[in-house]
Structure 1
Amino acid sequence: MTIDLRIAGGVVVTPSGPTTADLLVDDGRIAGLVAPGVAVDAARTIDATGRLVLPGMVDAHVHTREPGYEHKDDILTTTRQAAAGGVTTIFGMPNLNPPTVDVETLTDVFERYASTSIVDWNHNPAPTKFDDIVPMAEMGINAYKIYMVVDTGRTYPHPAGTGIHDHGHLLQIMDRIAGTGKRFIVHPHDQALMDYIEGEVLARGENTPQGYASAYAAREGVIWDTAIDVILRLAEASGCPVHIAHIQTRRSIEAVRRAKAAGIDVTCEVNHWAPFLSTWKDVETLGPYALSYWVPDDNRAAIWEGMRDGTIDIASSDHAPHTREEKEIGWTEMWSAHTGTPGIQYYYELMLDAVNRGELTLDRAVDMVARIPAEKFGLAGTKGTLEVGADADIVIADMQHEWTITNDDVLSKIGWTPYDGRTISTRIERTLVRGRDVYADGAVVGEPGYGKLAAAPADISAETAGTEGN
């Protein structure tokens, strides 16, 4: 019998840790690991000598911008970046035009992915229409997403239909989601506090990157901390599994740590900008191109601690591309600029570079980008792991390859990265999705439409789904 592929000579990062072995792939899945030199009849062999063989990244927080904002990026260009960055599964976000809030809009988005995505995919719709929550779960989604925010001075990137601020409404939706078995992703934000804080900053005429950065980090991050306290308490009250986006303050990390110890089903994520960008120097030199948010040094230290000890479960890119024109206005009118930064193309490599610098262990980095997001979003044993039976979503990386990120390498339509000029020590050389190359030899080789829906098994209780909060 001949298998499809042998990846030979590398160090394979398995759930039990790194091991020197050859990885066997057949029919799109991991077929086994064998000692180097063991005879196996393979149709194709990839030489991974001196390289790490890793599971592909499962990125649960990606803004593809399609439909509605394709001038920034689209599903094809986003998944080209994913392939180059070792990301083999993406979950899209609902802040589109029209926003993904019901069966009709979710069906349209699914059809778009199926037509053009290079990597495997899913999508996180907003559960703002009660009657569509359960039907969308039955379509194969793995999570829902809402924003506890209304933009000041603009209608994007948080359009109407994707936001919930009233606590009673949040609890109603959590009750409904709890019966589906899906996870509820929440962008935390205390709108009333932010209105007051922003109002003070703008009244002083500080409509600048520095003013914006200071406002969102004001009073040690009070807008984040109070919102996350509410989310955790409502999760406990409803039994709804929650996932907190954009974790970035010391108090929030401590609150999540306590909630986990109390048995609350909560996960949280760190986005690329929190550990690797958004210092005050970045705000001053890159201005709107660095925002997302400013992360003060004491909060950044707490983030690294939470990444190391497992309080912060997951690394998700929050890939959020905007054009230069949409950013440039921010130098003088930051509240009119589109906030968010592109991140999917380089996050895995930045995490591996952090391993080389001794800031994370290799096992911890791989857990954060692959194993844990797959496990917590319903894909355990299928995605995020190099074990027999799992999809052959594989990354081959050179951990001793120093190179400099430049705008010339960017595969996004926007043509820029906040990491332009940064030198790192690792390079992803090859990405495979279900055993097929999608990135190799410095080029994206995946075919549009190759990606498929990465759906969790159906787990909906007819007795509980949709009966609470009516």
Structure 2
Amino acid sequence: MPVDLRISGGTALTPAGALDADVLVSDGKIVGLVDREVETGGQVVDATGKLVLPGMVDVHVHTREPGFTHKEDIHTTSLQAAAGGVTTIFGMPNLDPPTTTMETLDDVFSRYAETCIVDWNHNPAATLPGEVVKMAAAGIRAFKVYMVVDTGRTYPHPAGTGMHDHGDLLRMMDTIAPTGKRFIIHPHDQGLMDYIEGAYLERGENTPAAYAQAYAEREGVIWDTAIDVVLRLAEASKCPIHLAHMQTRRSIEAVRRAKARGVDVTCEVNHWMPFLSQWEHVERLGPYALSYWVPDDARQAVWEGMNDGTIDHVASDHAPHTREEKEIGWTKMWSSHTGTPGIQYYYPLLLDAAAKGLISLSRVVEMAAEHPARDFGLPHKGALLPGRDADIVIADPDAPWTITNDGVLSKIGWTPYDGTTCSARIDRTYVRGVEVYSEGKVTGRPGHGKKA
């Protein structure tokens, strides 16, 4: 059997489970999983003792291009993706200009096509009803909206990307539903947040600790009320929805009940929740850890939801900001740009969590690859199966290493995981059968990525 590439000797993680099988690749596709004894031609890559995984499909990535390329751009995002075993990225619309029209969407598509190393798509903001049908027809996989207005800053949630009125949300769901696209929603009850934040700021509490406590106030009431509303509107409109930033017990229970009623809802956990949301992170890293603080009881509930299947996906929410944009947060946290970089290290950290028994390896693969591909309309991706794109990661599960700022491929040059030891290492990444990362070096070329 002639093939272009044979990945030999590894343990292949497939939808049917872990298999001791070699993975065969021709013309960018997986063409077989075969016994070791079957002879083939082509290049052979030795994966003995290693895991062979589907590439991660990351549907929540902030590339910062256009408008904020001092933080990041599409090319540097894709460098980190390749190094982190991420073979498909979906960009977010909080750009300058924000992606709200066909004109801005076409511009962003052209930028990906020119510089992205891995495969890609983009989630425009669904804030202009007249643009929705046109953008859906252009080959996007999902829309995005933020139910939040930044307090004390204009970024990372710029004007044009937000929607808070319940009537507007229902109208937009009614508009999106016939397109069949999924509607990604950053849940947030802005009225409650104004009240809660106002109390902290009136007392002069503008520290990372105050910010962390405000967003988790009253067991996460700003998240729970918003998610309850979104779930009910999704049920009423029959619009497929996807919830970002799962982080409270009540929200997970609400999603569990909605799924039982037949609501088409998926949800995600971002890198900061399992690995960067403890109080010691807030105390030690301050603005560099925020994103959000998740109290211990809520974090336990999220792990339970990841393990029992209530939470469908892991997505990085890769959100790079410069040191200058973070440093102000030590004394003026509401003026700091929130969010943390994560795409380069999320998959290895998840594999490390599996090695520690926090989650099964099969669940990691489902959440990182199989389910995002399924739920966002990518039947050609997300699994090691014949006929799928050969988006493949070879990982060594027993190769301890330490994450450091020196290894960061982002423009910002830092990671909140500096000093973190990880047991699993990404050795090689392939996108449609082409190597884009190998043994510590990105080898893919700009423009190799295609629209997924």
Alignment match, 1:309: 308
Alignment match, 1:389: 387
Q: 5 Å matches for 1:412-427?
A: 412-427=410-425
User: What is the CA–CA distance in structure 2 between the aligned matches of 1:53 and 1:234, rounded to whole Å?
Assistant: 40
1:222 aligns with 2:212: no
User: What is the CA–CA distance in structure 2 between the aligned matches of 1:404 and 1:442, rounded to whole Å?
Assistant: 13
Q: 5 Å matches for 1:144-155?
A: 144-155=143-154
CA shift, 1:316, in A, is: 0.2
User: What is the CA–CA distance in structure 2 between the aligned matches of 1:441 and 1:358, rounded to whole Å?
Assistant: 26
Q: 5 Å matches for 1:366-445?
A: 366-380=365-379, 382-445=380-443
Alignment match, 2:183: 184
Alignment match, 1:28: 28
CA shift, 1:191, in A, is: 0.3
Alignment match, 1:129: 128
User: What is the CA–CA distance in structure 2 between the aligned matches of 1:340 and 1:125, rounded to whole Å?
Assistant: 19
- Superposed CA offset, 1:275-312 (max 9, x none): 11111110011000000000000000000000000001
- Superposed CA offset, 1:390-427 (max 9, x none): 00000000000111100011000000001000111100
Amino acid at match of 2:132: I
User: What is the CA–CA distance in structure 1 between the aligned matches of 2:49 and 2:193, rounded to whole Å?
Assistant: 51
User: What is the CA–CA distance in structure 1 between the aligned matches of 2:364 and 2:34, rounded to whole Å?
Assistant: 25
Amino acid at match of 2:352: D
User: What is the CA–CA distance in structure 2 between the aligned matches of 1:75 and 1:428, rounded to whole Å?
Assistant: 21
CA shift, 1:345, in A, is: 0.2
User: What is the CA–CA distance in structure 2 between the aligned matches of 1:405 and 1:268, rounded to whole Å?
Assistant: 28
Amino acid at match of 2:440: G
- Superposed CA offset, 1:415-456 (max 9, x none): 0001000111100000000000000021000000000000xx
CA shift, 1:93, in A, is: 0.1
Amino acid at match of 2:427: E
Q: 5 Å matches for 1:161-310?
A: 161-310=160-309
**Unpaired runs of at least 5, structure 2:** none
User: What is the CA–CA distance in structure 2 between the aligned matches of 1:41 and 1:331, rounded to whole Å?
Assistant: 59
Task: Give the SS at the match of 2:6.
Answer: strand
User: What is the CA–CA distance in structure 2 between the aligned matches of 1:199 and 1:38, rounded to whole Å?
Assistant: 68
Alignment match, 2:19: 19
Amino acid at match of 2:36: P
Alignment match, 1:458: none
Give the RMSD, CA atoms, in angstroms: 0.5
CA shift, 1:264, in A, is: 0.3
1:2 aligns with 2:2: yes
User: What is the CA–CA distance in structure 2 between the aligned matches of 1:206 and 1:243, rounded to whole Å?
Assistant: 33
List 4+ stretches of structure 1 deviating above 3 A. Answer: none
Task: Give the SS at the match of 1:121.
Answer: strand
CA shift, 1:38, in A, is: 1.3
Amino acid at match of 2:198: G
Task: Give the SS at the match of 2:426.
Answer: strand
Q: 5 Å matches for 1:337-348?
A: 337-348=336-347
Task: Give the SS at the match of 1:179.
Answer: helix
User: What is the CA–CA distance in structure 2 between the aligned matches of 1:29 and 1:336, rounded to whole Å?
Assistant: 47
Alignment match, 1:450: 448
Aligned length: 452
1:324 aligns with 2:323: yes
The TM-score normalised by the length of structure 2 is 1.00
Task: Give the SS at the match of 2:242.
Answer: strand
Task: Give the SS at the match of 2:179.
Answer: coil
User: What is the CA–CA distance in structure 2 between the aligned matches of 1:47 and 1:281, rounded to whole Å?
Assistant: 41
User: What is the CA–CA distance in structure 1 between the aligned matches of 2:177 and 2:349, rounded to whole Å?
Assistant: 35
Percent identity over the alignment?
A: 71
- Superposed CA offset, 1:66-111 (max 9, x none): 0000000000000000000000000000000000001000000000
User: What is the CA–CA distance in structure 2 between the aligned matches of 1:367 and 1:99, rounded to whole Å?
Assistant: 31
CA shift, 1:2, in A, is: 2.5
Amino acid at match of 2:438: A
User: What is the CA–CA distance in structure 1 between the aligned matches of 2:39 and 2:292, rounded to whole Å?
Assistant: 53
CA shift, 1:41, in A, is: 1.9
Task: Give the SS at the match of 1:293.
Answer: coil
User: What is the CA–CA distance in structure 1 between the aligned matches of 2:11 and 2:168, rounded to whole Å?
Assistant: 49
Alignment match, 1:334: 333
Alignment match, 1:116: 115
User: What is the CA–CA distance in structure 2 between the aligned matches of 1:222 and 1:269, rounded to whole Å?
Assistant: 19
Amino acid at match of 1:183: R
CA shift, 1:125, in A, is: 0.2
User: What is the CA–CA distance in structure 2 between the aligned matches of 1:56 and 1:227, rounded to whole Å?
Assistant: 32
Alignment match, 1:463: none
Amino acid at match of 1:56: G
Alignment match, 1:56: 55
**Unpaired runs of at least 5, structure 1:** 455-470
